[in-house]
């Protein structure tokens, strides 16, 4: 390792790659999460997300993803861009899906940082993940001291909010030793000591319940957990069959995802804006109207949504969502 290398230089490189916050934690096994996670799965709350039931051991042990794993680096990439006020009646798409698909964009930037680690710190085995493998992303970010899990279930970063994608680098390097000098004193970006809760950020939601009160389908439990089967994002993206009648009329204009619980959060009153141009909203997606949806054939769908997260639902899925919103109650 170069003598001059410290946490500040490491963090600066992460910022240059488009990440606004970074921290890291020892790659310990997460066995303490096993009972709660399995109970959640057994309760049926995963709904149609069968992939959550698979590879449980991989989720709980980073050493099964990278042999000899010693460090999990958590990185936050903001995706917030200011939007014009929504016009009632026009289809709404969650902010994160208005730009290019984040998976490859952030993995590439994570690999830039991993290459830098290999060059400046030392040979490292590592893998980069962005919502692309069985990794408890929010939990690793929390354990690294990056932020806390809010009542809306999102990771909240002090002074930055929650409009973020999370990326992880799991490596066999012990960064707690290699970057021991120059660590900042702020708990929002320091290396926590395992088992010392004082090194982690406690929840700062206080008595606020805006997200819970504003969720039109009652998906939020209030303790940072949720029932995805009631979540608009789940219903418009993950759910494959007909949308249950009980939800008809309970949300306005959302056809892919939902931002309500983040939009009302006080920690997002001054959101941190994205530094990655590829994540900027596409102009075409900002101009979609009901007429666009009504006349949408496969070619139009691909023209609008190819290369964006919305492509995941397919034309059939997004038209199902639009039809559900506009169907008259029987």
**Catalytic residue numbers?**
131
99: which 2 tokens?
Answer: 């730009």
**Residue 278: strand, helix, or coil:** helix
User: CA 294 → CA 271, 289, 311, 317, 319, distances in Å?
Assistant: 34, 9, 17, 13, 8
- Other CB atoms within a 10 A radius of the CB of residue 180 amount to 12
| Cα angle for residues 113, 189, 177 (degrees, 5° grid) | 70
Please list, in sequence order, all residues whose beta carbon lies within 8 angstroms of the beta carbon of residue 323, skipping any fewer than 6 positions away.
Answer: none
Strand partners, 128: 169
Helical axes 102-120 vs 7-16, angle rounded to 10°: 150
What's the DSSP call for residue 77?
A: E
The CA distance from 135 to 154, in Å, is 15
23: which 2 tokens?
Answer: 């921290």
The CA distance from 3 to 9, in Å, is 12
**Residue 271: strand, helix, or coil:** coil
- Other CB atoms within a 10 A radius of the CB of residue 76 amount to 23
Determine how β-strand 254-256 pairs with β-strand 92-93. parallel
Q: Which of 68, 186, 203, 78 is nearest to 127 (CA)?
A: 68
Q: Which of 90, 31, 110 is nearest to 64 (CA)?
A: 31
- Other CB atoms within a 10 A radius of the CB of residue 162 amount to 24
Is the C-alpha dihedral spanning 94, 97, 102, 104 positive or negative?
positive
């Amino acid at each position: 390792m170069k003598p001059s290398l410290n946490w500040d230089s490491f963090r600066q490189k992460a910022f240059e790659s488009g990440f606004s916050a970074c921290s890291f934690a020892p790659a310990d096994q997460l066995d303490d999460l096993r009972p709660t996670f399995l109970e959640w799965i057994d309760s049926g709350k995963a709904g149609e997300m069968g992939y959550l039931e698979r590879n449980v051991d991989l989720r709980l042990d980073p050493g099964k993803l990278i042999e000899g794993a010693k460090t999990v680096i958590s990185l936050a990439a903001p995706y917030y861009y200011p939007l014009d006020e929504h016009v009632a009646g026009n289809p709404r798409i969650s902010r994160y899906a208005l730009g290019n698909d984040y998976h490859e964009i952030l993995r590439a930037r994570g690999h830039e940082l991993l290459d830098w680690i290999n060059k400046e710190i030392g040979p490292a085995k590592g893998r980069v993940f962005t919502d692309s493998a069985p990794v408890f992303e929010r939990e690793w970010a929390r354990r690294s001291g990056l932020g806390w899990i809010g009542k809306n279930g999102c990771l909240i970063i002090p002074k930055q909010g929650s409009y973020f994608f999370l990326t992880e680098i799991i490596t066999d390097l012990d960064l707690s030793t290699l970057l021991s000098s120059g660590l900042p004193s702020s708990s929002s970006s320091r290396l926590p000591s395992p088992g010392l809760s004082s090194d982690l950020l406690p929840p700062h939601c206080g008595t606020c319940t805006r997200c819970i009160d504003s969720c039109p389908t009652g998906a939020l439990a209030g303790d940072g957990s949720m029932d995805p089967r009631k979540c608009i994002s789940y219903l418009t993206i993950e759910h494959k069959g007909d949308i249950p009648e009980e939800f008809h009329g309970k949300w306005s204009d959302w056809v892919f995802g939902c931002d309500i619980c983040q939009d009302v959060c006080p920690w997002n009153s001054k959101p941190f804006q994205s530094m990655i141009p590829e994540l900027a909203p596409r102009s075409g997606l900002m101009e979609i109207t009901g007429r666009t949806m009504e006349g949408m054939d496969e070619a139009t769908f691909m023209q609008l949504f190819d290369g964006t997260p919305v492509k995941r639902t397919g034309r059939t899925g997004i038209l199902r969502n639009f039809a559900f919103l506009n169907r008259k109650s029987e």
